[in-house]
Amino acid sequence: MQGSLPATGAAPLKTVVAYEDAAAGHRAVGLLKELLQVLSDDTELQPVLWRFDLLSDPHWYKMAVIDAAHADMMILSTSGSSRLPDAVSRWLEASAALKNGDGVTVVILRGVKEAWTVSIQDGSITEILPGTKPAPERELFLPFGANAAAASS
């Protein structure tokens, strides 16, 4: 994911997508397509995809941590509402530690209907993990995609 700026001068939007299975990956790619529709011409989307089970392998885990540490946005997509696997939680924590306080936007797609956007400015991704107490002054939750219309009515 460590690339240079394109020759066109477009600013890169480095995006890491972590997904549970094919259905969750398909949903995340759909979100990327929506994102492409709203990005300005001076922004280049640079996605990298990681399947949850790969994060259990030490080799792939290290590569995914580096990708996430350089990301401007992360998309986590699950098929159900169950807790994130331990390897994914460790990956999020390790990635946050390498961000050195840089902000990141995390989009969470849970199940088939639930989607949230979380902006974290201090590198503390662990606050969005199950079992932790959110800090409202550092988080912004917004419905995304199809849920946005339902939430605004």
In CATH terms, the fold of domain 11-147 is Rossmann fold (3.40.50)
pLDDT tens profile 15-61: 999 999 999 999 999 888 888 888 778 888 899 999 999 999 999 99
Asked if residues 73 and 13 have their Cβ atoms less than 8 Å apart, the reply is yes
pLDDT tens profile 91-143: 988 988 887 767 788 888 887 665 555 554 444 444 444 433 343 333 333 33
Q: Give pTM, 2 decimals.
A: 0.69
C-alpha span between 35 and 24 (Å, rounded)? 17
Among candidates 48, 44, 46, 45, which has minimal Cα distance to 63? 48
Q: Which one is predicted more confidently, 73 or 116?
A: 73
